[in-house]
Amino acid sequence: MAKSQATFMKKQLEKNRQKKKEDKEQRKQERQQNSTGGDLESMMAYVNEFGEIVSTPPEKK
């Protein structure tokens, strides 16, 4: 007796879910490897006395 079509579809759907999960995990790994960091110092911005945004901290007088 042949297997039902429903069983075949269940297996195909499960394969698709598994492949999608693996692809997502692979993209996550690639993002982590290609990350530039994100430390606090690189994200800081300062405002100088003229109201301009600069990346260097102001000089103490």
2-60: pLDDT as tens digits: 668 889 999 999 999 999 999 999 999 999 898 877 777 778 899 988 999 998 888 87
Decide if 12 is inside a domain: yes
For residue 17, the model assigns a pLDDT of: 98
Q: Is 70 exceeded by the pLDDT of residue 1?
A: no
φ, ψ at 53 (rounded to 5°): -85, 125
Decide if 13 is inside a domain: yes
Identify the sign of the CA torsion 38, 39, 42, 48.
positive
Task: Determine the structural domain holding residue 28 and report its residue range.
Answer: 1-34
Decide if 48 is inside a domain: no
Contact 44, 53 (CB under 8 A): no
Tokens of 52: 């301009």
Query: How many domains does the chain contain in total?
Result: 1
pTM (2 d.p.): 0.53
